[in-house]
Structure 1
Amino acid sequence: MRNRLISVSTIVFGAFGVIIVNLIPLIGIAAGEWNLRAILLIYWIEAVTTVLIAATKSLFAEQGSPGLQAKMEPLHELRAKRGGFQLFHGWPPIYPRNIPFALTILGFWISVGAPPSVLYLWFGHPEFIFSVDILLSIGALVGMQVFEFMTEYIGENEYTDVSAQAIVQTPAQFSAVVLSVGILSTAGDSVTGGGLVFVIVIMKTIISVRRFYAEHAETSILAGLPDFIHQLISRVFEMSRSDEDEIEPQPEVTLPDAEVNARVSTDRRAVLLGSIWTIIFGLFNRFGVGSLVVPAVAVIIGDPLLIGVAMIIPLAVFGAQVLSFYLRYGTIEYQRRGDSIVAYDTVLDAPQWIAPVHTAEFEVKNAVSDRLLDTGTLDITAEKIDRDIQFGPVSNIETAVETLDLPVSQTDRPDRDLAVMGAATALALSFLVVPIGMYFSEKVAPLTAIGFTIAVGPFLFIPVGLLIHAGLSRI
């Protein structure tokens, strides 16, 4: 009973603190020193802080996130990764499987919240007054979130009961508030008036209190309260840390009870080379295409400095794809344990998958990287494994098969076929004749050529990429 009362009092006083901090802007409004632009500045900084902290929280979330039918998250392939690594002593581990959710949170703000904010700041010519009370309000709103993250989420081990998928929803409400304030502020204070500012602050306060209850309060804490109060709070503030459909047990693999009889490591050169094709095909999604839009617009504008800054986005996407692919295959050691083959991550110190040797099916993969480096890879199909797994790439596939005693009799790839290579090259060039010729034609303006490339380029990359891949696979 005492623990329950302490929990209830903690939640009540915590919610009271959230209310006080969020109502601070009303003091500035009452004093006549604040307007919608000042509110926008304060809420924008708080929203950015919320996004960054939510992304950081998702990395530490210990519970698993249920699988989604559509693989919409960036680097969604990392969701199959098992284990984590400790970044700071005394802190919980960071789980690579949560990185796609952290990137989703950041991508949501960059694609939805940031562009209107930048346009408003660029074209609206806002005049902000950095007074002491505004700085104190910003410090209070940001400091409250940082304090909660350090003392409660990390200090009180709240990360053990939440999944990354549940945390993704947090920034959406604040982004909506910031965007609404920004849109309203463009109308000018003379039109909107102080009354509308008051309404916005109250709505923002309600959203903050609602989020506080959803993140901190559990149904069991208020079980002793009268039923009508319990039902009212549960309905208004959604008294649950996260929905059941957003959490599943921590996804870990149990090692077989057998000693390691043999080990084979991957060929890291082949892993890095093989990542190129994954990167190319990974660009054909909304995040990949979106990363190319800003550089394309910068090229049309023609500002060299803007082009250089804009190229940071696709380079960051490219680097993330390389690291993701390397983390999937480059740190793996294949172990023979009894009648099983185990893919063990030596960096995360955790098994990734386990396949039965005698019942699994092994098939040689005709990878381009293996063709160029004379390495080898096997595709593995086994029951009770609901995802694609592979063995390799390894430096010498025959030696690896013999070392691990795998039931593979044929390790040769298809023979070189010059006819396929020639046909694929000729067809690829036929697709590229028109767009390349536009840049050398005096009758076509440079902006027209660039616009045509932006509009048609993504559709040409698919057949050209497939043809190049087909030709290299028979080199």
Structure 2
Amino acid sequence: MRVHPPTEWQRRRVGSVAAVANLVPLVGVLTLGWNVYSLLTLYWIEGLVTVLLAAAKALFAERGSPGLPDIEPLHELREKRGGWRPVSRLPAVYPRNVPFAASILGFWTVAVLPASVLYWVTAEPAIRPSLSLLVGGVGLVITQLHEFLSDYLAGGEYADVSAQEILREPLQLGLVLLTVGLLASAGDRSGGLVLLTGIVIVKTTTSVYRIVTDHTDLPVPSVLDEAFDGSHVEPRPDIDTPDGPVRGRISVDAAPVLLGSLPMIAFGFAHRSTFAILIGLAFAALTGGSVWLVLGLVFVLVVAGARIGSYYLRYGTIEYRRYEEQLVAYDTALGAVQWTTSVDSATFSIRNAIPDRLLDTGTLAVSGADPDDRDTQLGPVADLDATIERLELPVADPARPERDSAVIASALLLALFFLAVPAGLALSPKIDTAQLIGLAVGVGPIFLLPVVLMIWAALRRI
């Protein structure tokens, strides 16, 4: 949707204002006596705003992104089709772009913010507050906000870019922040006038280049864009709804979906950066660092909420519809078909899922679904037998393994056996806090893995 798109004169005016705003730091260095800490403060504020707006831009981008397979956080959402329009005056938000927005915010949260807080707390930089510094910061922020509202949303630029392509600008600013940060850590002696002027000129040139290429039709060589060549493709095509009436429909049961999302939280901390945050959280809990403990808990809750929300959006908003010969998975929140399959050619089998055993619900494994002849699932549903009957599905053996008390007892006893060693170490008076943290990091996963496997085996036969 394009609401009141700006004219070419308005677009060039935005570019001119942005260029002037980027020249404010140069004036500050040459005539107002700004030091390296002033530059670092200004560019850090600009970087934060850039990252937040880049994440917002990524959500609206209509072009597809090739991405890196299974690398981005919440990468499973890249398979989702359809978009959601939260406000009628705004374009649609695409869940397939959430992994890229999460990558932008995640890098800033895990890498930049902790390092920045640690630097400001330990180095105590000599910042010289001034009206010119305030004006420069406000000018850069207003310029970016105006560009986002006027050109990207109202001008319809979101229709011509991909989420992956938007990563370019935060990357450029990150390099500038790294350079200025290294200079700041070395002190004012490395921040001479010539060097500071050079940094501002390079950063300003980069920003003006982006403004000119994005907001005008001038024949500027796309040197930087070549690094992002091929970073957008056509989005996944929509799947057509079969002709004919709906013979039956079944909605997903939300409770087993939410329960099934809990193990997915562990994958959110599988990356070394997020695992490092967990180690810091454990250290803060043992040493009594209340501030870091609160920050760590907030981070854990955000990651857990993102994993649960991602899993629910993948499975919890689906309605399964039976047409004459086709079975369709329709996302009621996004208003788009996710997959379809011929009932006669697909293979249906009972999935022995732990949430289904605990809640007495049911899930079917489906093989041979379009597109891409992929494996997927139907459910979980509240009544599996009624679902099979209503959708007329050819399930050969709609039964799960019987409860096995011997397997459950054996698995739980083995889990307790493996837990005995770390529990004994934790309660031993000969092990201090530092040693306990080291053992938890070094050998904790060795004992945790068999415990998880034993509990998983017990739950599958409960």
Alpha-carbon distance in structure 2 between the residues aligned to 1:465 and 1:169? 40
Residues 284, 141 of structure 1: CA spacing in aligned structure 2 closer, same or farther, 3 A cutoff? same
Aligned residue type for 1:154: L
Residues 388, 130 of structure 1: CA spacing in aligned structure 2 closer, same or farther, 3 A cutoff? farther
3-state DSSP class of the match of 2:192?
A: helix
Alpha-carbon distance in structure 2 between the residues aligned to 1:196 and 1:67? 37
Residues 123, 151 of structure 1: CA spacing in aligned structure 2 closer, same or farther, 3 A cutoff? same
Alpha-carbon distance in structure 1 between the residues aligned to 2:177 and 2:248? 57
Alpha-carbon distance in structure 2 between the residues aligned to 1:304 and 1:118? 15
Note the 1:6-405 alignment, pairs <5 A: 15-66=15-66, 68-69=68-69, 71-216=70-215, 221-222=217-218, 230=219, 233-236=220-223, 238=225, 243-286=229-272, 288-382=274-368, 384-386=370-372, 387-405=374-392
Q: 1:429 aligns with which of 383, 397, 416?
A: 416
Aligned residue type for 1:437: G
3-state DSSP class of the match of 1:57?
A: helix
Deviations 1:404-441 (A, max 9, x none): 00111311111222232233223322322211111111
Aligned residue type for 2:456: H
Whether 1:414 and 2:395 are equivalent positions in the alignment is no
Answer yes or no: is the 8 Å Cα contact 2:251–2:318 preserved in 1: yes
Which position in structure 2 is the counterpart of 1:227?
A: none
| Shift of residue 109, structure 1, vs aligned partner | 1.7
Alpha-carbon distance in structure 2 between the residues aligned to 1:395 and 1:236? 56
Which position in structure 2 is the counterpart of 1:225?
A: none
Answer yes or no: is the 8 Å Cα contact 1:81–1:96 preserved in 2: yes
Residues 179, 406 of structure 1: CA spacing in aligned structure 2 closer, same or farther, 3 A cutoff? same
Alpha-carbon distance in structure 1 between the residues aligned to 2:325 and 2:32? 77
| TM-score, L = length of structure 1 | 0.90
Q: Relative to structure 2, which stretch is displaced further, 458-467 or 305-314?
A: 458-467
Aligned residue type for 1:60: F
Alpha-carbon distance in structure 1 between the residues aligned to 2:27 and 2:74? 45
Deviations 1:279-336 (A, max 9, x none): 2344333465244133123124322343233211111111111111111112111111
| Shift of residue 110, structure 1, vs aligned partner | 2.1
3-state DSSP class of the match of 1:164?
A: coil
Residues 123, 67 of structure 1: CA spacing in aligned structure 2 closer, same or farther, 3 A cutoff? closer
3-state DSSP class of the match of 1:272?
A: helix
Deviations 1:38-86 (A, max 9, x none): 11110000000100000000011112222533x1111111111222222
* Percent identical residues: 44
3-state DSSP class of the match of 2:356?
A: helix
Aligned residue type for 2:88: H
Answer yes or no: is the 8 Å Cα contact 1:116–1:179 preserved in 2: no
Alpha-carbon distance in structure 2 between the residues aligned to 1:29 and 1:245? 37
Answer yes or no: is the 8 Å Cα contact 2:35–2:188 preserved in 1: yes
Answer yes or no: is the 8 Å Cα contact 1:214–1:238 preserved in 2: no
Q: 1:438 aligns with which of 405, 422, 425?
A: 425
Answer yes or no: is the 8 Å Cα contact 1:162–1:247 preserved in 2: no
Alpha-carbon distance in structure 1 between the residues aligned to 2:383 and 2:459? 20
Q: CA RMSD in A?
A: 2.2
Deviations 1:127-169 (A, max 9, x none): 3233111111111111111100000000011111111121123
Alpha-carbon distance in structure 2 between the residues aligned to 1:178 and 1:55? 18
Residues 359, 288 of structure 1: CA spacing in aligned structure 2 closer, same or farther, 3 A cutoff? farther
Deviations 1:176-227 (A, max 9, x none): 111211110222223431111101100111221233245445xxx45xxxxx
Residues 450, 407 of structure 1: CA spacing in aligned structure 2 closer, same or farther, 3 A cutoff? same
Which position in structure 1 is the counterpart of 2:3?
A: none
3-state DSSP class of the match of 1:186?
A: helix
Q: Count residues with an aligned counterpart.
A: 455
| Structure 1: tracts of 5 or more residues without a match | 1-5, 223-229
Alpha-carbon distance in structure 1 between the residues aligned to 2:304 and 2:24? 43
Residues 251, 114 of structure 1: CA spacing in aligned structure 2 closer, same or farther, 3 A cutoff? farther
Alpha-carbon distance in structure 2 between the residues aligned to 1:191 and 1:315? 41
Alpha-carbon distance in structure 1 between the residues aligned to 2:296 and 2:406? 41
Alpha-carbon distance in structure 1 between the residues aligned to 2:87 and 2:273? 31
Q: Relative to structure 2, which stretch is displaced further, 361-370 or 337-346?
A: 337-346
Alpha-carbon distance in structure 1 between the residues aligned to 2:222 and 2:95? 35
Answer yes or no: is the 8 Å Cα contact 2:81–2:236 preserved in 1: no
Deviations 1:73-101 (A, max 9, x none): 11111111222222222101111111111
| Shift of residue 13, structure 1, vs aligned partner | 5.6
